[in-house]
Amino acid sequence: MKSIKFLRILFLFFVFFKTTAQEFKLGKVSIAELEQKAHPKDSSAAAAILYKKGTARIEYDSNDGFVLVTKVDTRIKIYKKEGYDWANQGVVYYIGNNESREKVDFSDVNTFNLVNGKIEKTKLKSDGIFNEEVNKYRSRKKITMPNVKEGSVLEFSYTVRSPNIGMIRDWAFQTSIPVNYSEYTTYIPEYYTFNIRQKGYIFPKVTSVKSNQSILINSKERSTSGGFAGATRTEFYQNKIDYLEIQTTYTAQDLPAMKEESFVNNIDNYTSSLEQELSMIKYPNSPLKTLSTDWNSVAKTIYEYDDFGPELNKTGYFENDLKTLLAGVNTPQEKILIIFNHVKSNVKWDKYYGYSCEKGVRKAYQEKSGNVAEINLMLTAMLRYAGLTANPVLVSTRSNGISLFPNRTAYNYVIAAVETPEGNILLDATDNYSVPNVLPMRALNWYGRLIRKDGSSDEVELMPKKASSDIVFMSYSIEADGKISGKAKRQCSDYNAMLFREKISGQKEEAYLEKLENDNKKIEINEYSRTNEKELLLPVSETYSFTGADLSEKIGDKIYISPMLFFTNEKNPFNQETREYPVDFGFPFMDKYNITIKIPDGFAVETLPVPAAMNMEGNLGTFKFNIAANENTLQMSILHQINEAIVSTQQYEMLKEYYKAMIAKESEKIVLKRI
C-alpha cells in the first residue's frame, strides 16, 4: 500500500510539472496544484511561481504605426501566510505625455481554493483594481487578489500597450520565490535590431524561427476633375507590405529563489533576467539608423539629445553671479569649491533622477529647484565657464543596476567631473553632504561614462580608493559592583562623515540620543556635543559621557568585561557556506579604537586577551588587536581596515574567515578577580 501511495504522489508530481511546463492555460488549475503543501525543491518557500508566460510583439496599428504589445500570464501557488504579499500585484507604466503614454489592462484575475475536494474559483471584483501614482511620469496599476488562503493558487493576466518600441520590457526569470517554469517570446519585424543582454548565473534555453508576415497600410488621395471648379474626388488605397518576423523564445525551468545576502549592491544585478533595447533601424529604401551599438555611440547619442548637450552651452543665466563669486580667485581647487557650493546652496534637488533636463538649466536656476540633470549639467557648465576641464559623467544608480551592456537606459543619473593632472574630481551637487570626490551612496555603482564636447567618451571608476575612517577614543572606569562610567569621542571622515551627517539630519538631538542609548546596551548619556557638523570638509565628531549597569557581568568575586563594550562586533555578516554575489562595502574603510580602562581598587587582572594580528592576501584587509596592562590601567588599540570597496566571490572564503576570527577576538573577555 505504501508503494502504491508513493507512486500516486510521484505520478501527481510529474503530471503537475508536465502540465505546468507544457499545457498551461489560464483557468485550468489542477487539484494536484491545490493539494500541494510545500514546494518540492524548497520547503522553506512561502510561495512559488508555477508558471509565467510572456510575449512581446511589435504590431502595426493603422493609427499609431508600430506599437509594442506585451502580454503576461502568471500562476502562483501560496504555501504559507508569509506568501500572502504575492496576492498584491502591480505594473508600472509611463504616463509622461500623450505621445508616449502606455496603457495597462488586467484580465482573468482569479483565486482558486480546494473546498471539500472541489475547486472553488473567486473572481476579482472591480474594487480590487486601482491606480497608484509613482511620480509625475509613471503610475502603477495594482490588483489585490480575493479570498487568498494557505494553499490558494492565484492567476492573472495583464497587457501593456506602448507606443515606445525602443525598450522591450525586462523579463525576470528569477525572483525572491522559486519559479517552476518561465517562458518569454518576442516577435520582432526585420526592420529592428535589438541589443539582447542576459544577466545572472542561470541562462534560459533559446530558440528562434523566422516567418513571413504582412501588414496592410491604408492611404487616401484627393484629386480634382474638370479644372479649377471641378469636383473633388477621394480615392482610397491599400498597400500590402511583406516582411520577415523573427520569433525568439526563451525558456527556463526550476529556478531557485534569489536569497538576500549582506552587503549586496542590488540583487537584480545577479538575477537571471533579460534586457532588450533597440540598437538599429533599417526601413525599406531608407538609410540605416544606429542608436546604441557600443558605449561610445550610446554616449554620443545621449550628448546630442536636445535636453542634454545643448544645455551645457547655456551660460547667460549665471555669468554675472559667477563673475562676482570668482573675483580674485585663481586656483582650480578654490574655483571648484566655490562653484560647487554655489550650486548646492542655490538649487535644490527635486528628487527626480535621469540624465535629461525637464525644464532646462536656466529655469531650474531661476526657480532654485531642478532634477539631477539640471543641477549637475548646470554645475558642469559653470565649471567650464571658469576655465576648468569639466565634463558630465553618466551614471547608473545602485537601484538601477550595474551598466554592463551598451544601451541608453543603462544610465539614469549624471554627475560632473573635473579633469586634473592628479585625476578626475567627481562632483554631485544634488546632495547636501557630498563634497568633492565623496559622492552620494546612490551614485557609487562601479563605473560611469565621461562624455566630452567632441562626443568621445571614457569609462570612469566611481568606487572610492581612499579609506574612510571611523576613529573612537574611549576611556572608562569599572567600579567594584561592575558598573561602568566613561567618555567616548567618535570621529568620522569622508563617506563615514557623510553617512553620519545624513543620519542626524532633521533629527532632534533628544530622539537621536534615546536611540543611541537603546542601541548601546541601555547606557545613559550626558554631556553630549558635536563638532564640525556643518563644516563638510572636516571630519565630524561627537563626544559624550556615559554610564551603564549592563556593560559587564559580575559573578561572585569576578567581573567579566568585553573590553570594547558597545563597540564590539558581535555578529558575522558572512555566514553563508558559499557566496553567489560580490561583497559590496560601498567604500574602503578604517575602524580604529583607542581605549583606556581603569580597573577598580581591590581587583587584579586574572585573564587578558592576547594580542593578535591578521592580514588578508592581496592587501584586502588588516586586523590588529593589542592590549597591555600597567598597574591598574589597561591600554588597548584595535584596527579593522578593509582596502577594497568590492570584494569578489573568489575572496569570500578568506573574508568570511577574517571576520570570524576578528569577531572571536573582539568578543574575548577581560576577567578581573578580587584580591
Q: Which residues, 6+ apart, have CB-to-CB distance to 535 below 8 Å? A: none
Q: In whole angstroms, what is the distance from residue 585 CA to residue 648 CA?
A: 11
Residue 442 identity (one-letter amino acid)? R
Q: In whole angstroms, what is the distance from residue 671 CA to residue 296 CA?
A: 64
Instruction: Name the percent of the chain in helix, strand, coil, to the closest 5.
Output: 25, 45, 35
Summarised one tens digit per residue, pLDDT across range 250-294 is 999 999 999 888 999 999 999 999 999 898 999 888 899 887 678
Give 214's strand partners: 242
Q: In whole angstroms, what is the distance from residue 503 CA to residue 497 CA?
A: 10
Q: In whole angstroms, what is the distance from residue 266 CA to residue 278 CA?
A: 25
Give 262's strand partners: none
Summarised one tens digit per residue, pLDDT across range 459-469 is 999 999 999 99
Band the pLDDT of 206: cuts 50, 70, 90: very high
C-alpha cell at 54: 510572456
For 378, the 3-state DSSP assignment is: helix
Band the pLDDT of 224: cuts 50, 70, 90: low
Report DSSP state, residue 658: H
For 574, the 3-state DSSP assignment is: coil
- Residues 379, 343: contact at Cβ < 8 Å? yes
* DSSP H helix total and E strand total for the chain: 10, 36
Give 369's strand partners: 348
**Which ranges in 148-226 belong to alpha helices (H)?**
none
Share of the chain above pLDDT 70, in %: 94
pLDDT for 321 equals: 97
Number of Cα atoms under 13 Å in the Cβ half of residue 585: 25
Exposure string for 288-311, b = 16+ CB within 10 A, e = fewer: eeebbeebebbbbbbbeeebbbeb
Summarised one tens digit per residue, pLDDT across range 307-355 is 999 999 999 999 999 999 999 998 999 999 999 999 999 999 999 999 9
Q: In whole angstroms, what is the distance from residue 256 CA to residue 258 CA?
A: 6
pLDDT for 69 equals: 97
For 525, the 3-state DSSP assignment is: strand
With a cut of 50, say whether residue 1 has pLDDT above it. Answer: no
Q: In whole angstroms, what is the distance from residue 216 CA to residue 200 CA?
A: 41
Placement of cell 526592420 in the chain: 191
For 100, the 3-state DSSP assignment is: coil
Share of the chain above pLDDT 90, in %: 80
With a cut of 70, say whether residue 222 has pLDDT above it. Answer: no
With a cut of 80, say whether residue 81 has pLDDT above it. Answer: yes
Q: In whole angstroms, what is the distance from residue 87 CA to residue 81 CA?
A: 11
**Which domains does the chain carry?**
2-171+211-245+277-281 (no CATH), 295-461 (3.10.620.30), 468-674 (2.60.120.1130)
Note every long-range contact of 342-347, with CB atoms under 8 Å and residues 24 or more positions apart, other chains counting: 342/382, 343/375, 343/378, 343/379, 343/382, 343/429, 344/429, 344/431, 344/432, 344/434, 347/374, 347/375, 347/378, 347/429
User: Which phi and psi (to 5°) does residue 500 adopt?
Assistant: -65, -45
C-alpha cell at 636: 588597548
Q: In whole angstroms, what is the distance from residue 315 CA to residue 103 CA?
A: 40
Summarised one tens digit per residue, pLDDT across range 387-434 is 999 999 999 999 999 887 788 888 999 999 999 999 999 999 999 999
Out of 59-63, 560-564, 568-572, which region has the weakest mean confidence (pLDDT)? Answer: 59-63
Placement of cell 525576470 in the chain: 172
With a cut of 80, say whether residue 440 has pLDDT above it. Answer: yes
**Rounded alpha-carbon distances, angstroms, from residue 332 to 336, 346, 452, 465, 639:** 6, 21, 19, 22, 36
Between 217 and 530, name the one with better pLDDT.
Answer: 530
Placement of cell 525644464 in the chain: 359
Band the pLDDT of 241: cuts 50, 70, 90: confident
Is-above-0.95 flag for pTM? no
DSSP conformation letters of 169-190:
EEEES--SS-EEEEEEEEEEET
Rounded to an integer, the average pLDDT of 642-663 is 97
With a cut of 50, say whether residue 8 has pLDDT above it. Answer: no
Band the pLDDT of 595: cuts 50, 70, 90: very high
pLDDT for 186 equals: 97
pLDDT for 167 equals: 82
For 506, the 3-state DSSP assignment is: coil
Band the pLDDT of 7: cuts 50, 70, 90: very low
C-alpha cell at 660: 570570524
pLDDT for 127 equals: 86
Residue 510's closest CA among 526, 531, 497? 526
pLDDT for 170 equals: 94
Band the pLDDT of 560: cuts 50, 70, 90: very high
C-alpha cell at 17: 510539472
Number of Cα atoms under 13 Å in the Cβ half of residue 580: 16
pLDDT for 10 equals: 35
With a cut of 80, say whether residue 231 has pLDDT above it. Answer: no
Report the mean per-residue pLDDT for the chain: 92
How far is C-alpha 507 from the chain's CA centre?
Answer: 25
With a cut of 90, say whether residue 473 has pLDDT above it. Answer: yes
C-alpha cell at 534: 556643518
Give 512's strand partners: none
C-alpha cell at 549: 549597569
User: Which phi and psi (to 5°) does residue 251 adopt?
Assistant: -130, 145
Residue 561's closest CA among 664, 472, 674, 666? 666
Rounded to an integer, the average pLDDT of 53-76 is 93
Summarised one tens digit per residue, pLDDT across range 605-631 is 999 999 999 999 999 999 999 999 998
